[in-house]
Structure 1
Amino acid sequence: MNYLDIIIPFVGGLGMFIYGMQIMAQGLENAAGNKMKSLLEVLTKNKLMGVLLGAVITAVIQSSSATTVMVVGFVNAGIMNLTQAMGVIMGANIGTTVTGWLVSAVEWAKFLSPSKLAPIAVMLGVIIMLTGKRRSSKEIASIIVGFGLLFIGITTMSSAVSPLQESESFCNIFVTLGDNPLLGILAGAFVTAVIQSSSASVGILQSLAAAGLVPFSAAVYIIMGQNIGTCVTAILSSLGAKKNAKTAALMHLLFNVIGTVLFSAVAIIYYEFVNPEIGFGYITQTQISMVHTAFNIGTTVLLFPVSGWIIKLAKKIGRVDEDTQDKSIVLLDDRILETPVIALQSTVREVARMAQIVEDSLMVAKDVLFTLKEDDIQLLKEEETTVDKLSAGITEYAIKLSSLQVSEKEHQEVAHLLQMVSDIERISDYCENISEFAETLHEKKVSFSEVGTRQLKEMFDVCVDSYRYAFEAFAEQNKEKALTVIEKETQADDLEISLRSKHIKRLASNQCNTEAGIVFLDTLVCLERISDHARNIAEEVLEN
């Protein structure tokens, strides 16, 4: 038997299977679009919502490894705590069974015969790709082409290994794996760890099953091992991350190892004492999907009530306690870039967090010129440093995001975000300038006249409202509030001209202190420019 004639087409089929899976996943991810973005909002919900989130995201991106890597990124960024991460990890194991059911569809849905359907699917997808002009057409084409390539790949692998039915030594390998659970688990874990995809590993097993090579007992232990092997990607991803992120990867490993130990014990008892004959029979592709699904759902149902103990165990092994998050740390992680749609939504959330900090600074700045409190002056300077760090980090991350394969619309969204970050950061600078003006008044022991105080507070009210509406317009994508900002900015321009004229007249008639008068005029400039930047933010919302 020429093994080279088996290995080469098998490897080629595996490559086509993985490539088809990735193309289909990318098409599904792009088609999901806004729905994928909104999924992030459930991260603040309970653990059960996390399970559903993990299952849905994994079903879309076709990789539990990628989902878990994202979870590590979320935990490392401080967006997700370990309890939320546990739920998503459990859901990811369930979502990863979708690929197996797609492959086994050739058995339980006869019309999906790869030899007939796969070439038609690829051709249809290519036609849509070449003729379709709309973005949705391209996404549908990617899904169809990926679907076809996935089936061609699995057919190529199955055809390549079919001669091995005549190889007694090769068949004996699987008999040994079925007789020795530990070897079966290690084999599944090793193959999955090498190719870093449990979906692809299950696909390989299904291609061997289609050729009639895999005993039932061997398949069960291999499937359990595959779930352990898929943890390797997340563990490697967590290297160099914070302790919390490493703990998230460890939770994934513990969850799958505990599930494997429990179900292996059940399988051993069943094959030894209940029904030994079934273990020697050959498994089908559909049965592999059933075992894979039953194992993952069963493990989740069994361990969900005690998931808190798994988290505690992981934290104890990792020697970590969740601590408070420094708000100057950018809550974005490169691991999340694996899924650009979610990375974009994470960036939006971070820009909104930065904008909230600046709104808080504005509220302090609104009073600091009149109270001259040293604590408030110092707070504004510290907040400006925080915003500078956030601005730099978000900008760097957004540039990385824009360099990925994202749609034109998403490119535009990133561009809008970059402009908003710049405007928000400039408003923070003006808040710091106001704190410096307050410091000057405090040091020289001067203050505004009663008229000057009243007029300046009027200007503050208009400009702070302008920014608040701009922030709300961005957070809610509310165009009506954006239009209100433009009205407020016009009002601020007119008020600045009026108040400047009146103040100069007071200075000329010696009705106010000269040093306080200079601060008054400088403050007017800062406030008017704050309203300008608020208008810029509103215009970005209107264009988006």
Structure 2
Amino acid sequence: MQDLDFDFWLFLAGLGIFLFGMHHLEDGIKGLAGKSFKNLLKKFTNRSWKGILTGTFVTGILQSSSMVNLLILAFLGAGMINLKNALGVILGANLGTTFTAWIVATLGFKMNVADFSFPFLALGILSYLFLKGRPVIKNLGLFLIGFGLLFLGLDYMKEAMEAVSGGIDMNIFSQYGLWAFLLVGLIVTALIQSSSAMIVIILSALNSDLIDIYQSVALIIGANIGTTSTLVLGAIGGTADKKRLAFANVVFNVVAGLIAFAFLRQAIDVLLNVFHVTDVLMELVILNTFLNFFGIILFFPFLGLFQRFLKNRFKVSEPVGATIYIKNVPTNVPDVAIKAIQNELTHLYDLTKDFIINVYEVKLENISKLNKWMRIFKVAKNPNDKYDHIKLIEDEMTVFYSNLMKQPLDDDEVKLLEDNMAIMRSLVYASKDVKDIQHNIKNIQDSSESLPIDVLENLKDTINKRFNQYDQLMNLAMHEDLSINFYVENHNVYNENIHFIYNHLKQSKKQTITVSTITNVTKQTISSLNNMYSACKKYCSVYKTDNSEHSDVTSVA
């Protein structure tokens, strides 16, 4: 009994070292190529099948489905990926986690694992301690430490299993059938929060002949279901998107797992006859891979339907706020949070433009016939409500910016954030310029006096023309080096209108709308157009080199 207790602690120590190694391995890879994997996820998730392949590859390398799920959740909130494609990544991440089992089955039980781990630990620890001033070397050291600890922990678990193999009677569980093994796999995985570690435990038990292949697969199915607890726990009190992804992950693994469990013996017999594998460990790894691949085949054709189903769920957990993108994104993923701000700026531009058009009652030339009919039957919204909405967005973006600045950012990210806030302020100033003269514009529209109406019509024509040009800047179709200076153009419009007012004063009868009101409306309108131009010009100068990526993002959004 003493020996059994000692072996139990050896096993527990091995499990702890294995998990600790996984943590360091993940940190090392994030430090070495964290942004590369984020860019890969962003670039290759615009289709469901691409999301599956990318999720598989990234999770296989990072060996952390939790990290991939966190990134996908952030991308989803930022509008960089839609829910259907995010579901594809989740399916791929489940398949990617099988990579650990392949490494362990291929190397872990074929050699003296402890001796194999020592060079990695030695080089990793020395690099981390004495070259920590060099980030690349430091992160490489973390990676080597993680890799070494992974195999050292595996060796302890294998040794403990072999030592106690004769003292454990698996008939205790066998008498209840394979359901008992499925439940054990589920519960243990939910407790240790690592399907990779659970698979290593199962492989160790199988290698020591404690369990057979059928019991092993039942444990694997339970582990795949149990690993969903990580996302479920993270979704408690979280946003609607977080709950949707967690729910989807549970459905994927439970449905695929239970179907596979129902035909477990038949499926195992067929696959073993097809592959003719003699190594029992490789048999389990192949079966585990096919189990996750089966889940992809099962759900891939229905991702669109599943997305629509999920969109109607968890609506009470939708984040509260005037913003669309930043309220869904955590600030602990800075580059994704900054991308969310960019998307929020395009939204704020549209709201500011809509507010100004609404106040001046401008009919844009480039609206479609369908939009014209929509405008006819659309319920009118008070311009003041639109302005209040813009101010709420300003407040939320400012708080988000303040929280984001507390994160570890590089100089380029700080500069980009400051530029984004300058764009936001210019858009808000543009709306305030118009808000201040809103009552004057209304008085002119309600009057029958020709001079103020003519001036207002000239200003509306200018607004129409400018917004068509500013739209090109915001769509990155017009670059700031174009030989047009809209500050000069707007100043010329101002002068033309002032001259028009003074030249027609003598011809006009006594005016109810005073000259000071007309000139003030002219000045504030031009100021608003200049502020809009400041925002659009800076937006274009900041993001014009990112044209293709911007197009992908806005199409998703």
TM-score by length of 1: 0.76
Match of 1:55 in 2: 56
2: CA distance between counterparts of 1:444 and 1:326? 42
Deviations 1:284-313 (A, max 9, x none): 3x5554333221112211333355676688
Partners of 1:296 and 1:169 in 2: CA distance: 33
Alignment match of 2:33 (pick from 17, 24, 28): 28
Q: Does the aligned pair in 1 maintain the 2:55–2:89 contact within 8 Å? A: yes
- The answer on whether the counterparts of 1:369 and 1:437 sit within 8 Å (CA) in structure 2 is no
The answer on whether the counterparts of 1:177 and 1:183 sit within 8 Å (CA) in structure 2 is: yes
Query: 2:21 matched to 1:16?
Result: yes
**Structure 1 pair 61/355, CA: closer, same or farther in 2 (3 Å)?**
farther
Partner of 1:159: 155
Aligned equivalents of 1:537, 1:19: Cα separation in 2: 44
Structure-2 separation of matches of 1:125 and 1:206? 32
Q: Which moved more, 1:79-88 or 1:432-441?
A: 79-88
% identity of equivalent residues: 17
Deviation at residue 394 of structure 1 after TM alignment: 3.5
Choose which of 322, 347, 350 in structure 2 pairs with 1:353.
347
Q: Displacement, 1:365?
A: 4.6
Q: Deviation at 1:257?
A: 0.7
More displaced stretch, 206-215 vs 2-11: 206-215
Amino acid at match of 1:165: E
**One of 217, 223, 226 as aligned partner of 1:226:** 223
Q: CA 1:297–1:335 in 2, change beyond 3 Å: closer, same or farther?
A: farther
- 1:122–1:145 CA contact under 8 A, matched in 2: yes
Aligned to 1:303: 299
CA contact (8 A) 1:175 1:215 kept: no
Are the aligned partners of 2:260 and 2:291 in contact in 1 as well (CA < 8 Å)? yes
Query: Which sections of structure 2, spanning at least 5 residues, go unmatched?
Result: 365-375, 544-557
1:352 deviates by 1.9
What are the within-5 Å matches in structure 2 for residues 376-455 of structure 1? 378-433=381-436, 435-442=438-445, 446=449, 448-449=451-452, 452-453=455-456, 455=458
1:467 and 1:76 map into 2 onto residues whose CA distance is 27
SS at match of 1:167: helix
Aligned in 2, Cα 1:518/1:464: closer, same or farther, shift over 3 Å? farther
Number of equivalences: 520
| Residue among 214, 219, 234 paired with 1:217 | 214
Give unpaired runs (5+ residues) of structure 1.
Answer: 133-137
2:474 paired residue among 471, 483, 487: 471
Per-residue CA deviations over 1:382-434 (Å, capped at 9, x if unaligned) read 33233333333334334434433444433333332232222223323334445
Deviation at 1:229, TM superposition (A): 1.7
Q: Write the distance in 1 (CA, Å) between the matches of 2:387 and 2:171.
A: 64
Does the CA-based 8 Å contact 1:29-1:60 persist in structure 2?
no
Letter in 2 for 1:523: V
User: Larger % of helix: which?
Assistant: 1
Deviation at 1:261, TM superposition (A): 1.1
Give 2:117's aligned residue.
115
Pair 352,99 (structure 1): closer, same or farther in 2 beyond 3 Å: farther
2:524 corresponds to which residue? 526
User: What CA distance in whole angstroms lies between the structure 2 residues aligned with 1:89 and 1:35?
Assistant: 15
Q: Structure 1 72/536 Cα, relative in aligned 2: closer, same or farther at 3 Å?
A: closer
Cα-to-partner distance string for 1:253-280 (whole Å, 9 max, x where unaligned): 122111111222232346699989x9xx
Q: Distance in 2 between matches of 1:297 and 1:365?
A: 56
Which AA in structure 1 matches 2:17? Answer: G
TM-score (norm 2): 0.74
Q: Does residue 460 in structure 1 map to residue 463 in structure 2?
A: yes
Aligned CA distance change for structure 1 residues 11 and 109 (closer, same or farther; 3 Å): closer
Amino acid at match of 1:16: G
Contact kept, 8 Å, 1:76 with 1:244, in 2: the verdict is yes
Q: Which moves more between the two structures, 154-163 or 505-514?
A: 505-514
Q: Name the counterpart of 1:535.
A: 534
Tell me the distance in 2 between the aligned counterparts of 1:412 and 1:203. Answer: 46
Query: Does the 8 A contact of 1:54 with 1:92 survive in 2?
Result: yes
CA distance in 1, matches of 2:217, 2:386: 57
Question: What is the CA-CA distance between 1:166 and the residue it aligns to?
Answer: 1.7
Give CA-to-partner distance per residue, 1:35-55, whole Å, 9 cap, x none. Answer: 444346x1xx5x434434543
